[in-house]
């Protein structure tokens, strides 16, 4: 690990000149430059990034905190952010917050106490005032979920409209008793989707009964309980508020005649029988936008930016919703297989 001083000694110049050459500053005599460059090569000089960071006061690192990096939705956000940041010479520290809200503050504080230049966060807790102290020091950008009790940039999806879209889709296919199944309603996105579901029912003058709402489907056992609960009220269709719940639900409804729509696509959703109609999200775009915003804020600390950006979502229509398909299930299976 040669230092600048050692390179300087070898090239018979001062450390400052080495610094100038290394950072391509002008006003270095060509022959000096050449001598320094060969010394640089000879000693295989690599700058000590800790020292640079120390001097600069800020590391070229953006923190990314998401509930779970194993969830492809968040992994796509993280990867997109990493790609964009990497192109600007910044790297990305990823932290999985986990499902336990109690852990979030510790985990995120630990992340922040490193020397980050900025933070991208999809929070689990619903009070983000603990970030206020940090927000004055670095750009903090929320993705997928809005900041609460904190003023910060956010890029989120139109969960309400998406849920409305999916529910309306089921209504248009003739369903009248539509169940809502999700995991944890305290997550703001889930709450918005429930609101969208209810709004769609209201718009169609259908009864938004609480008995048709079941939660806790984040794991297979919970999904089974939730489904059993709903089935007492014999819905003909389900709106599933997130992809993970949908994945848990799929095995359970195989033998039933329930139509299903899911908020969030997932691999093989199109391979099920019947193929699942889903709300399509664009996590990569969220990640790219968030990272770009962090970089923009770093570039122009005094700049003015839109605080809240809501991205539209779309419906991917497959075959899981029609009442008719359920009545002739075996035909549909045949048709699927023939494709």
Question: Contact between 38 and DNA (CB under 7 A)?
Answer: no
Instruction: Tell me, by CB under 8 A, how many residues bind a copy of itself.
Output: 56
The token pair that represents 140 in the structure block: 């903090």
Q: How near is the Cβ of 5 to DNA at its closest, in Å? A: 6
Choosing from 138, 160, 250, 313, the residue that interacts with a copy of itself (CB under 8 A) is 250
* 205-to-62, 106, 115, 234 alpha-carbon distances in Å: 48, 46, 54, 19
Contacts with DNA: how many residues (CB under 7 A)?
Answer: 29
Q: Build a one-symbol-per-residue string for 37-76: x at contacts with a copy of itself by CB under 8 A, - elsewhere.
A: -------x-xxxxxx-xx--x-x-x------xxx-x--xx
The single residue among 38, 42, 54, 172 that binds DNA, judged by CB under 7 A, is: 54
Give CA 111 to chain center in angstroms.
Answer: 17
Q: Can you tell me the distance from the alpha carbon of 104 to that of 107, in angstroms, rounded to the nearest whole number? A: 5
State the maximum Cα–Cα separation within the chain, in Å, rounded to a whole number. Answer: 87
Among the residue ranges 165-173, 231-239, 245-253, 318-326, the one whose residues contact a copy of itself (CB under 8 A): 245-253
**By C-beta, is 94 or 194 nearer to a copy of itself?**
94
Span of 22-30, 128-136, 197-205, 318-326 interacting with DNA by CB under 7 A: 22-30
| Residue 119: Cβ within 10 Å count | 25
- The CA distance from 224 to 229, in Å, is 9
Query: Closest separation between CB of residue 175 and a copy of itself, Å?
Result: 21
Residue at token pair 């809240």: 308
115 HSE (CA, 13 A, CB side): 13
Q: What is the three-class DSSP state of 148?
A: coil
Residues near DNA, by CB under 7 A:
1, 3-5, 12-17, 19-20, 22-23, 26-29, 31-33, 47-48, 51-52, 54-57
């Amino acid at each position: 690990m040669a230092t600048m001083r050692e390179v300087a000694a070898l090239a018979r110049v001062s450390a400052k000149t080495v610094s100038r050459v290394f950072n391509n500053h002008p006003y270095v005599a060509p022959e000096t430059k050449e001598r320094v460059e060969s010394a640089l090569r000879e000693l295989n000089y690599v700058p000590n990034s800790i020292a640079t960071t120390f001097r600069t006061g800020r590391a070229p690192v953006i923190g990314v905190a998401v509930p779970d990096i194993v969830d492809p939705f968040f992994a796509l956000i993280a990867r997109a952010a990493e790609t964009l940041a990497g192109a600007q010479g910044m790297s990305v520290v990823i932290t999985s917050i986990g499902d336990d809200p109690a852990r979030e503050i510790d985990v995120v504080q630990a992340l922040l106490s490193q020397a980050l230049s900025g933070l991208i966060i999809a929070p689990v807790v619903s009070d983000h005032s603990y970030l206020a102290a940090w927000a004055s020091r670095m750009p903090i950008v929320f993705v997928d979920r809005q900041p609460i009790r904190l003023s910060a940039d956010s890029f989120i999806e139109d969960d309400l409209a998406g849920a409305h879209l999916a529910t309306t889709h089921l209504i248009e296919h003739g369903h009248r008793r539509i169940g809502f199944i999700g995991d944890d309603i305290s997550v703001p996105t889930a709450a918005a989707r429930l609101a969208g579901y209810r709004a769609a029912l209201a718009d169609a003058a259908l009864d938004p009964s609480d008995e048709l709402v079941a939660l806790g489907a984040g794991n297979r056992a919970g999904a089974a309980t939730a489904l059993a609960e709903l089935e007492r009220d014999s819905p003909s269709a389900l709106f599933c508020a997130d992809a993970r719940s949908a994945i848990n639900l799929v095995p359970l409804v195989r033998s039933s005649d329930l139509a299903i729509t899911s908020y969030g696509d997932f691999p093989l959703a199109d391979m099920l029988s019947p193929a699942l109609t889903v709300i399509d999200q664009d996590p990569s775009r969220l990640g790219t936008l968030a990272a770009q915003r962090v970089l923009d804020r770093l570039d122009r600390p005094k700049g003015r930016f839109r605080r809240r950006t809501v991205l539209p979502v779309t419906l991917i229509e497959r075959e899981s919703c029609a009442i008719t398909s359920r009545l002739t299930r075996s035909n549909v299976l045949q048709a699927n297989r023939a494709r």
